[in-house]
């Protein structure tokens, strides 16, 4: 709540950004989910798993290239105005995705996904850089938890809607209305974001994206606390993109889930991340508590390893089954518990660390700091999607990938505990 007792979600200084982010995240994941279901159940052949991983990479890769430029633009201009312009352009990218779905053109849909990635990369420094402009330090954990929760609820809604659009006979109409409607809604919400002070009014924005990206990374590396926070958040997004790319084929192939079952497991996972984010804010009580991050990392590792062990050596399911049958089986229930635990742990892991990064950032360099973090996030995610796709091509199984991810994350938990800053 603010000084007047108004909840953040009803406050003018937070609510428009919240809904703008929600609508934008919905569209990103609506398009990606539609692609996943088309590839998984209607095309893709033996390369379906690799194509799904590629879709994640295409959405994320622009963050690695353009986050530095986005950070400069956000620090040089009023962040609210930047958000409004980006969301206006997004309406036309949504139109391109609608054309791709209407024509059943995977290349057009992939192109639109890349367009959403470009706009998301430019919007990222605005989205997270604007929070400390409008929120007090003690409100940052709650504000970040709400934004993270909105993002993952949007993933849930987009996933469900994308699955429906991909498998319904009249799904084209659903797709057209939702993808364009949410793009327009994001732009309208952006129009209500309050103006911000210009962080660096004399900054010269460089078109050299390589130079700006390197400058962001050098800035992060020069501050031990910022570097620590950026590495922690990058591991969270690496885990997230791997799990979300492996989950649909795991549910279909090993648990034997149909389209509705895949959607149900994805829904469970995304809701649980939101629960974990809210729990992190609740445990912090307005403070930034990095011990919560350590616990979250350890739990991610434990649940990922258990999910891998549960499915290790299983033959592909003989037939696809609906959600009730899948969740009613011992394997399906164990997988659901592991995914739910992993997702809640993810929220615990990332919220305190990212709130700390925002609190530690200098006002005049805040958006560029967030941009640098986004560059690292994108680098981790892009590398992860490439490595996982290559491992899948070499025959590494889904279960083995989950075990490997869990073991690595347990190592990360130890490193986070040993290196976390003493003071926040």
pLDDT in tens, 49-108: 667 767 777 877 787 788 888 888 888 888 889 999 999 999 999 999 888 878 877 788
- Say yes or no to pLDDT of 169 above 60: no
* Choice between 184 and 382, residue whose per-residue pLDDT is larger: 184
360 SS3 class? helix
Mean pLDDT, all residues of the chain: 84
If DSSP codes are grouped into helix, strand and coil, which group holds residue 321?
strand
Helix ranges restricted to H, 77-170: 79-102, 106-129, 131-134, 140-167
User: How many C-beta atoms lie closer than 10 Å to residue 329's C-beta?
Assistant: 13
pLDDT interval class at 289 (50, 70, 90): confident
- Tokens of residue 202, six digits: 């004399």
Please report the pLDDT score of residue 177 as a whole number.
86
Q: Which residue has the tokens 């622009």?
A: 62
- The answer to whether 84 and 193 are in contact (CB under 8 A) is yes
Distance between CA 167 and CA 36 in Å, rounded? 11
- Tell me what the mean pLDDT of segment 336-349 comes to: 94
Distance CA 384, CA 362 (A): 30
In the predicted structure, residue 143 carries a pLDDT above the cut 90: no
- Of residues 133 and 280, more confidence is placed in 280
The answer on pLDDT for 21 being more than 90 is no
pLDDT band at 40 (very low <50, low <70, confident <90, very high): low
Torsion of CA 41, 46, 49, 53, to 10 degrees: -110
Q: Which residue has the higher pLDDT, 379 or 306?
A: 306
């Amino acid at each position: 709540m603010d000084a007047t007792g108004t909840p953040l979600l009803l406050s003018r200084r937070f609510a428009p950004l919240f809904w703008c982010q929600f609508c934008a995240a919905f569209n990103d994941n609506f398009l990606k989910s539609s692609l996943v279901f088309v590839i998984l159940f209607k095309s893709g052949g033996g390369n379906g798993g690799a194509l799904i991983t590629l879709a994640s990479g295409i959405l994320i890769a622009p963050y690695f290239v353009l986050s530095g430029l986005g950070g400069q633009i956000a620090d040089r201009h009023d962040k609210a105005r930047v958000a409004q312009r980006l969301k206006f352009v997004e309406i036309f990218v949504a139109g391109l995705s609608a054309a791709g779905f209407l024509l059943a053109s995977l290349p057009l849909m992939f192109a639109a996904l890349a367009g959403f990635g470009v706009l998301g990369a430019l919007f990222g420094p605005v989205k997270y850089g604007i929070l400390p402009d409008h929120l007090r330090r003690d409100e940052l954990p709650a504000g970040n938890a709400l934004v993270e929760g909105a993002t993952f609820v949007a993933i849930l809604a987009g996933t469900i809607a994308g699955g429906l659009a991909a498998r319904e006979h009249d799904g084209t109409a659903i797709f057209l209305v939702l993808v364009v409607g949410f793009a327009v809604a994001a732009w309208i919400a952006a129009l209500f974001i309050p103006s911000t002070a210009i962080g660096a009014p004399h900054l010269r924005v460089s078109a050299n994206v390589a130079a700006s990206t390197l400058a962001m990374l050098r800035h992060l590396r020069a501050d031990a606390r910022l570097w620590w926070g950026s590495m922690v958040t990058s591991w969270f997004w690496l885990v997230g993109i791997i799990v979300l790319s492996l989950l649909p084929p795991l549910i279909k192939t090993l648990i034997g889930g149909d389209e509705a079952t895949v959607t149900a497991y994805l829904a469970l996972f995304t809701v649980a991340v939101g629960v974990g984010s809210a729990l992190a804010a609740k445990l912090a009580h307005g403070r930034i508590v990095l011990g919560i991050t350590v616990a979250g990392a350890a739990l991610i590792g434990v649940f990922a390893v258990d999910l891998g062990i549960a499915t290790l050596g299983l033959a592909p399911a003989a037939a696809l089954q609906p959600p009730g049958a899948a969740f009613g089986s011992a394997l399906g229930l164990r997988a659901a518990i592991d995914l739910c635990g992993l997702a809640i742990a993810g929220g615990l892991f990332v919220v305190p660390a990212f709130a700390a990064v925002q609190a530690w950032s200098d006002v005049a360099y805040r958006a560029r700091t967030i941009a640098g973090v986004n560059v690292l996030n994108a680098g981790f995610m892009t590398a992860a999607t490439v490595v996982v796709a290559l491992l899948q091509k070499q025959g590494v199984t889904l279960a083995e990938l989950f075990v490997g991810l869990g073991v690595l994350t347990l190592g990360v938990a130890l490193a986070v505990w040993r290196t976390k800053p003493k003071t926040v």
